[in-house]
Structure 1
Amino acid sequence: MKKILFLLIFLVSISSFSQEDAWVYFTDKPNAAAFLADPLTMLTQRALDRRTAQGIPVTTNDVPIHQPYINQITAATGITVKAKSKWLNCLHISGSVTDINALSSLTFVDHIEFANPSLNTSGKIKNPNVSNKEQVINKQMDVEITFAYGTSANQIQMLNGHLLHQANYTGTGKIIAVLDSGFINVNSTQPFERLFTNNLILGGYNYVSQSTNIYSLHNHGTMVLSCMGGYTEGQLVGTAPDAQYYLFVTEDIASENPVEESYWVEAAEEADRLGVDIITSSLGYFGYDNPSYSYTYSDLTGNSAFASRGANIAFSKGIIVVASAGNSGATANPYIGVPAEATNVLAIGAVQANENYAAFSSIGPSFDGRVKPDVMAQGQNAYVATTAGSITAASGTSFSGPIMAGMIASFWQAVPSLTNQQVVNLVKQSSDRFNLPTFQYGYGIPDFQLAIANAALDVNEATSSNFVVYPNPTKGTISFSIPDGFLNSKIMIYNSLGQIVLEQNINQSNPTLSLENLNSGVYFYKIASANTTQTGKIIKN
């Protein structure tokens, strides 16, 4: 009997995975020129203003997918379209392997990529007509433990966020998109009344059910939003109580499937279209119900996973992307997942109230050796609002992430002329382990009052006779803002022993220096010109 039962379970398992998930990528966007000539047909004015302020052009990946391509894929035999991405010019589909592979005969299909890597030939199924991990882990959304007492003061004061609030920097004028699993009772309980009274909830969408049903389904997004926008006097004050919010449901709580990454990217694209400044997400992906879809540590290279690629594009549009690091620190797979591992995502780990590492917080580095997590905030016994409107303590990087996202919104309000890259750099540079990052803490706990001071210093440097060196930290290349009148200068890079490891002449026509051949670590630089010298530190990730 036991053998028969095992066989039945095996057959059911095979049947449940007979439909495969895949992405079908298209060759082009035939109507791109028309959209680019009138960008307000695809982006709001606020989105265009954000790009203009940061010197970011509108490009082809802003253009919607060509609708006739969508129509033909939708009508194809055995194919179900589940999600789409204009940034990556593709559709997320499901169907049998045979039916999916048949799409490669369509002349406008560039390639097909299965969620199960073993089904990909040389990585991708190419269209001949076109020239061109096993263990499932808990998501970040899992809450470690809940207590029924406390105050939110410590989680803000740890970051010196209360000093920004005292200066009336509370997120006013900034828009945050929250990508989560549901927002039960946000529209009816006391901690969120202030948001609705002040018209700070701008809207939302449920990508899982393709509906506007966002105030049901799950309690996780409710707690996450309360870390930023919650307000119960004497009990809970969020880190950005006066920011505006869009609420997007991208997480299907009934299953673990790569389509959730596609929903995530769809929501990020809509956030960009609407002119959002910050995306925060306390969701993460590593293991799936179908083990063939799951990631392994070697996949965490910053721009390979679908959601990570989308997150990086969001950053390229001038948005700051914040993601919880994950709660897998004490598991067999302790590393940060998708999309927190992405190159340009700010991954937030968790500490206790006393600033010690929280044992559940996922660790770094990424597989390719980058510092992860990036920074830390309180995630153990953080104070949040429940769906009943009560204030309790709960644990998980699900809460350290939005605590940080709200604080960044308040900080960016104080320094509105900065680009997203400058803001991220200043947050890292203000952190208490910036000069010696670790695999548990990353760069450590930011001090937003110090970040304000450093921002003022950077502005003064940019308008004086000093050189500005950026980005810092860097993955490989640094650039220089060279003051007028400095025709020829030399930069020398020193290691911790004071040895010169790199030197190069720099000028207005050659304002960059590659550090690709240097190991990760802390270096010192000296810029020498005819009448001045300047020294400083550079972090190579």
Structure 2
Amino acid sequence: MKNNYLFFLLLFSSALFAQEDAWVYFNAKPNAQFYLDNPLQMLSQRALDRRTNQNIALSSTDVPVETTFVTQVKQSTGITVMAQSKWLNALHIRGSQADINALKNFTFVDKVVFANKILNTTSKKDRQNKIAKTKDKFKATVNYAYGASANQIQMLNGQVLHQQNYTGSGKIIAVLDAGFPGVDVAQPFQRLINNNQILGGYDFTTRNANFYAGDEHGTMVLSTMGGYKENSLVGTAPDASYYLFITEIDATENPVEESLWVEAAEKADEFGVDIITTSLGYFGFDNANYSHTYSDMNGTTNFISRGAEMAFSKGIVVLASAGNEGNTTERHIGGPADAVSVIAVGSVTASKVKSSFSSIGPSFDSRIKPEVMAQGSSAVVSSPAGTITTIDGTSFSCPIMAGMVACLWQAFSSKTNQEIRQMILKSSDRYTVPNNDYGYGIPNFGSTLGVDDFQISSFSVYPNPTQTTVTFALSDQNTASITIYSVLGQKVLEKQITNENSTLSLQTLKSGLYFYTFDAEGLHKTGKIIKQ
């Protein structure tokens, strides 16, 4: 009897002191007014301009997490801080159940939410339909020489935008994935490297500045947008610029990856990106107690989905893979694809038939998911070694779509992210009869998006690249406002120009890549300038 008592005592102690993951939410941001009065202390000028252009007001969600709160949590017994989110005013922490619950004694703590929902005393979540481990990725007037990649572009009628020279120039895409080895050396990415289109990145999983590392999945994802090898592979946005963020820990599946994703999305917002694309999806975790259920796929429960929705509220278009679980018991989309404003992208074959592996909708609250489809069966990609090959997965239909979004937004640069999203849905071939397999269908980026509007492009910027000056052709406009930004989104030059004086001196700028916005009555343009 004594031995049995000792066994149960050890079992209880083990459960009490086992390491758990949780989120601690704060109830205030004491220094919010300082940051709102000095917005460049928290956001780049390009990020601020994105908000201004879309009439998005600054709010306390833009303000960093209070550092004194973070410090006190870090100094608490047995607590490790894994990630933080200013948007959700929370920290992802790890520690024993007892040590985590002790944080509730801080007056600045609003609530603590355990990843293991049965530890949340107020939780009434149904634990049915839990699945094991799920990763949404598979291992395995200008005419472009698309080669084998032609079908995945032409299916979306994307060549029409490319022919009009809308190839993503001036748009910045953040790619949140598992790693980007080979991007700095493989031939299909050399055009990006040579033109300074990789603006930077970070490995949030190891807190390391080397983002040309990790799993090859992100490399293949990037190649569908930015890859360029004539007659073999041309990405959907070869002239866009990119930030590369590693948020996925490939060897394991843990809720901290959702928190790292949100942290990276906040950094992308801070840098002024236009589009976030992610080929990651979360449903089940290694610890089954942490796993989501279908009832969580309502757009408001999952930490990552709330972060994705917040990114959209900041004026960013967010795209996510629908998932590769179409052949499993739990076939529904995961997070962040379930978020209300996220464009969830499913997969079709080269002949436009739904790929059997592509996850289905609706969201748990009965919204149409996925929203759109693109080719994900036998998608053409580049490996880290530069080999052009094919692979299956919504992991690749999503970035194929994201690249086309960049081209469309370049063509309609005065549109808001909400307007761009709606244009894409309305152009899709099942828009009037959506369903849970195809969503609204396959978008048409050419014939139904006002191609005639593209012909306004007598606008030009020359010489580019340049050494000293750059001239903006005003066409029918008499005056225009020019703003030039660094790759970090900082405003470095601003000037009014006229037909008589439309040349800017760049003598004071260092050599490198810059972005410009051109605003005149009836015309808004963005693009990049290379100062040699």
Give yes or no for TM over 0.5.
yes
In structure 1, the residue matched to 2:467 is: none
Which residues in structure 2 correspond to 1:393-412 (within 5 Å)? 393-412=390-409
Instruction: Note if contact 2:133-2:253 (Cα within 8 Å) is conserved in structure 1.
Output: no
Find the aligned partners of 2:153 and 2:343 in 1 and give their Cα distance.
18
Which residue does the alignment assign to 2:109? 109
Correspondence list, 1:132-531, <5 A? 133-143=129-139, 151-453=148-450
Structure 1 partner of 2:485: none
Checking the alignment, whether the CA contact within 8 Å between 2:360 and 2:437 is kept in structure 1 is yes
Take 2:288 and 2:186, find their aligned partners in 1: how far apart are those partners? Answer: 39
Partners of 2:16 and 2:225 in 1: CA distance: 40
Listed one character per residue, the Cα deviations across residues 370-412 of structure 1 (whole Å, up to 9, x for unaligned) are 0000000000001000011010011100000000000000010
Distance in 2 (CA, whole Å) between partners of 1:437 and 1:139 is: 27
Letter paired with 2:441: G
Partner AA of 2:263 in structure 1: E
Q: Contact 2:202–2:210 at 8 Å: present in 1 too? A: yes
Per-residue deviation, 1:122? 1.2
Deviation at 1:216, TM superposition (A): 1.4
Task: Return the offset for 1:450.
Answer: 3.4
**By how many angstroms is 1:15 displaced?**
7.7
The residue type equivalent to 1:94 in the other structure is R
The separation in 1 between residues aligned to 2:332 and 2:308, in whole angstroms, is 18
Give the letter for the 2:271 counterpart: L
Mapped partners of 1:36, 1:225: distance in 2: 35
Structure 2 unaligned spans of 5+: 1-6, 141-146, 455-532
Structure-1 residue corresponding to 2:514: none
RMSD: 1.9
- Look up the SS of the partner of 1:122 in the other structure: coil
Q: Deviations over 1:112-158 (max 9, x none)?
A: 0111111112149xxxxxxxx521243211246xxxxx700000000
Contact 1:426 1:451 in 2 (8 A): no
Distance of 1:217 and 1:441 partners within structure 2: 32
Aligned residues: 434
Contact 1:137 1:333 in 2 (8 A): no
SS of match in other structure, 1:121:
coil
Q: What residue is the counterpart of 1:56 in the other structure?
A: 56
Give the partner amino acid of 2:79.
I
Task: Give the letter aligned to residue 283 of structure 1.
Answer: L
Q: 1:209 to 1:17 in 2, by over 3 A?
A: farther
Q: Answer whether contact 2:134 2:285 (CA < 8 A) is retained.
A: no
Q: Deviations over 1:353-378 (max 9, x none)?
A: 00011000000011110000000000
Worse-matched range after superposition: 398-407 or 15-24: 15-24
For residues 70 and 118 of structure 1, the distance between their equivalents in structure 2, rounded to whole angstroms, comes to 26
Contact 2:383 2:389 in 1 (8 A): yes
> Which whole-Å CA distance do the structure 2 matches of 1:33 and 1:104 have between them?
26
Q: Is the 8 A contact 2:16 2:97 kept in 1?
A: no
**Distance in structure 2 (CA, Å) of the matches to 1:158 and 1:112:** 47
Check whether the contact 2:133–2:284 (CA below 8 A) recurs between aligned residues.
yes
Task: Name the aligned partner's letter for residue 153 of structure 1.
Answer: A
- The 1-side partners of 2:98 and 2:189 are apart by 50
Letter in 1 for 2:103: L
> Quick one: structure 1 residues 167 and 120, their matched pair in 2 at CA, closer, same or farther if it must change by over 3 Å?
same
**How far apart are the structure 2 equivalents of 1:351 and 1:156?**
13
Distance in 2 (CA, whole Å) between partners of 1:123 and 1:105 is: 20
Q: Letter of the 1:436 partner, please give it.
A: V
Equivalent residue runs for 1:15-34 within 5 Å: 18-34=18-34
Determine the C-alpha separation between the residues in 1 that align with 2:181 and 2:401: 22
Structure 1 segment 86-105 matched on structure 2, within 5 A: 86-105=86-105
Counterpart-to-counterpart distance in 1, 2:362 and 2:162: 33
Unaligned stretches of 5+ in structure 1?
1-6, 125-132, 145-149, 458-541
Q: Is the 8 A contact 1:181 1:249 kept in 2?
A: yes
- TM-score, structure 1 length as denominator? 0.78
Q: Which residue of 2 aligns with 1:65?
A: 65
Question: Taking structure 1 as reference, are residues 175 and 16 closer, same or farther at Cα in structure 2, changes over 3 Å only?
Answer: farther
Amino acid aligned to 1:232 = K
Q: Distance in 1 between matches of 2:432 and 2:189?
A: 39
Q: Which amino acid aligns with 2:411?
A: A
Give the letter for the 2:196 counterpart. Answer: N
Instruction: Give, in angstroms, the shift of residue 304 of structure 1.
Output: 1.1
Letter in structure 1 aligned against 2:391: A
Q: CA deviation at 1:454?
A: 8.3
> Contact conserved, 2:427 with 2:449, CA < 8 A, in 1?
no
State the alpha-carbon separation in 1 of the partners of residues 87 and 451 from structure 2: 34
Moved runs in structure 1, 4+ residues, more than 6 A?
Answer: 14-17
Matching residue of 1:39:
39
Which SS does the other structure have where 2:182 is aligned?
A: coil
TM-score (norm 2): 0.80
Report the Cα distance in structure 1 between the residues aligned to 2:80 and 2:303, rounded to whole angstroms. Answer: 19
**d(CA) in 2 for partners of 1:242 and 1:291?**
43
Separation of aligned partners in 2, 1:16 and 1:184: 41
Task: Report sequence identity in percent.
Answer: 59
Aligned-partner SS, 1:152: helix
Q: CA deviation at 1:214?
A: 1.1
CA distance in structure 2 between the partners assigned to 1:17 and 1:42 by the alignment: 38
Once the two structures are TM-superposed, the CA of residue 18 in structure 1 deviates from its matched residue by 1.7
Cα–Cα, structure 1 residues 122 and 200, in superposed 2: closer, same or farther, change >3 Å? same
**2:197–2:239 contact (8 Å) kept in structure 1:** yes
- Residues 210 and 441 from structure 1, CA distance in 2 versus in 1: closer, same or farther, beyond 3 angstroms? same
Shift of 1:455: 10
AA partner of residue 110 (structure 2): D
d(CA) in 1 for partners of 2:367, 2:17: 35
Matched-pair contact (CA < 8 Å) for 1:36–1:63: yes
**8 Å Cα contact 2:16/2:96 also seen in 1:** no
